[in-house]
Amino acid sequence: MELISHNVPDQYLDLKSEPSTRLASSPTHDPRSGDAALAFIRQQRALHNDAAPVNEKELLKKIDYKIVPIMFACYTMQFIDKVNINYAAVMGLNQDLRLKGNDFSWCATAFFIAFLLAEIPTGIILQKLPTAKYLGFSVIMWGITTACTAACHDFTGLLIVRIFLGAFEAAIAPCLILITSMWYTKSEQVPRMSLWYSGLGIGQIFGGLVSYGFQHVESSFASWRVMFLALGGVTIAIGIWTLWKLPDTPMSSTWLTEQERLAVLEKVEKNQTGVSSTEFKPNQLKEVFIDPQIWALILFTILISISSGVITTYSATVIRSFGYTPRLTALLNMPSGVVSILSTVLSGIIVGRSSTRSLWIAGLCIPGIVGGSLMSFLSDSQKAGNLIGIYLVNAITATLILVYTWLAANVAGHTKRIAASVVVSGSFSIGSIIGPMTFQAKDAPGYFPAKVTVLATQGAAAIVALALRFYYNFENRRRDRIERENAGEDKSETMSNAEWMNRMPIKITKFI
């Protein structure tokens, strides 16, 4: 059954699938090495062979309504809970906890160190446990941790809760990448990932409003403490919603009919990346560390996350340094979210239709370069120019979702897909560790070294994106040549199930 026809333009120039003759030469397959969807497909095709085709547009709309809002809510609260320390800093947290020198920077950095270290066990867990269930559990646990921040009374307490918060939030990107890849085709993934990733921008706007609102709370309990309690409660509720409503795979969905489940699997079969497999493949893990594209994506992610870490952790501090009140600072931070949303949604729509990721990613670095220049070379008295610079740098946040779509579409084999998602997500932590540490107390109030760092890393990220484009062109030509050389070889009937064999894919594709 051909559910949805996607005409993918030639100009995508992304990495094609590696041609393989190993599978073709093998007369049989061990079913344990296959994807969990294969047995379901075989059974349901026999039962619904003569059934009328499913309405493809209605099915896609149904999936969107059930899946995307949950992912969006999880990512929104992940961002808010991560950066609410940014708003708390101008609400009196530093004074109430008697933070001195670089204490605040270390608390911000501790989150990302824990985030990075937790990626390794996260990858192991996701290989064995249902993705949606682990996501829901993680959301609940970081919600509890967020609420516990209200009980902190010194630097040590704040440091501990930030470590636990980073450890629990480490699951968010790998889980959402895996979930998106199991429900959507490659061309459908880009706009859907852009939708749930736009929760980052919503989080920036909502976080500013929340901070502004709670600064009006008058009680013996500090307003920032009330804010952490409220946000933690909201996150816990979303985690429960995730456990309750988000299915682990299309096969386990209770709101799809059996015929609709089959239609979903037949639709994503063309991805050749599979849905779910608990079998650990050591060779696929090895491939992650010898794959040049993975190393390029790691370097790019580190560069953009240095800038992102500077802005998300210290934007309120920088705006406050211009002489604004804490309440006005919270409101002036909100346009950053608008820039994030617009750049994310716009890039998702354009890339999903006709443009290349590499050129669009490099283009998104340009506003960041301009913003970094304004922040670096304008005096603090030129408030409008500095604010525009801060806002423009937020365009760089949209590049990360395009990197995620590269991973979801480019990497096949469940083990390799999990490992690649984990290492790239972990590399985001590395940049985010470096970024806040460029803010040193001795550089206050201008923080010139940190601002120049934003400028430099944005420019370097654009260069890496373009270099990756040249690599993909070279590799695609190589794989085309191998495919032509193997064109005359005899292919086994088992090739029809290659998409679900938890291996590197066989089919050559333009879109990744």
In order of 29, 123, 412, the CA distances from 285 in angstroms are 21, 11, 11
pLDDT digits (tens, 9 = 90+) for 180-230: 888 888 778 878 888 888 888 888 788 778 878 888 777 778 888 999 999
- The pLDDT > 70 percentage for the chain reads 76
What is the C-alpha to C-alpha distance for residues 225 and 132, in angstroms, rounded to an integer? Answer: 30
Identify the band that residue 310 occupies on the pLDDT scale cut at 50, 70 and 90: low
Q: Are 40 and 261 in contact (CB under 8 A)?
A: yes
Q: Are 457 and 307 in contact (CB under 8 A)?
A: yes
Expressed in angstroms, the distance from the first to the final Cα of the chain is 22
CA-atom Rg of the chain in angstroms: 23
| Residue 340 C-beta-side C-alpha neighbours within 13 Å | 27
Nearest to 148 by CA among 137, 160, 156: 160
CATH fold, domain 10-21+36-43+55-485, is Growth Hormone; Chain: A; (1.20.1250)
| Residue 25 C-beta-side C-alpha neighbours within 13 Å | 5
pLDDT value, residue 112? 85
Q: Are 407 and 417 in contact (CB under 8 A)?
A: yes
pLDDT digits (tens, 9 = 90+) for 106-143: 888 888 889 889 988 888 888 788 899 999 999 999 99
Q: Tell me the Ramachandran region of residue 188: left when phi exceeds 0, alpha when psi lies from -120 to 50, beta otherwise.
A: alpha
Which residues, at least 6 apart from 180, have a Cβ–Cβ distance to it below 8 Å? 71, 189, 192, 193, 196, 408
Sign of CA dihedral 351, 357, 361, 363: negative
Give helix 103-128 / helix 56-89 axis angle, nearest 10°: 150
What is the C-alpha to C-alpha distance for residues 508 and 12, in angstroms, rounded to an integer? Answer: 13
Domain ranges within the chain, ordered by starting residue: 10-21+36-43+55-485
Identify the band that residue 37 occupies on the pLDDT scale cut at 50, 70 and 90: low
Q: Are 272 and 506 in contact (CB under 8 A)?
A: yes
What is the C-alpha to C-alpha distance for residues 310 and 333, in angstroms, rounded to an integer? Answer: 14
Nearest to 104 by CA among 80, 118, 88, 115: 88
Is the per-residue pLDDT at 344 higher than 60?
Answer: yes
pTM of the model: 0.74
Residue type, 320: R
Query: Can you tell me whether residue 344 is helix, strand or coil?
Result: helix
Q: Are 301 and 428 in contact (CB under 8 A)?
A: yes
Is the per-residue pLDDT at 356 higher than 60?
Answer: yes
Is the per-residue pLDDT at 476 higher than 80?
Answer: no
467: how many CB neighbours lie within 10 A of its CB? Answer: 15
In order of 28, 37, 412, 497, the CA distances from 42 in angstroms are 16, 9, 21, 10
Nearest to 492 by CA among 18, 29, 17, 19: 29
pLDDT value, residue 401? 78
Residue type, 104: F
What is the C-alpha to C-alpha distance for residues 342 and 358, in angstroms, rounded to an integer? Answer: 19
Q: Which of 98-112, 157-171, 307-321, 492-506 has the highest mean pLDDT?
A: 157-171
Q: What angle do CA 333, 334, 340 make, to 5 degrees?
A: 105
- State CA 494 to chain mean position distance: 35
Q: Are 416 and 18 in contact (CB under 8 A)?
A: no
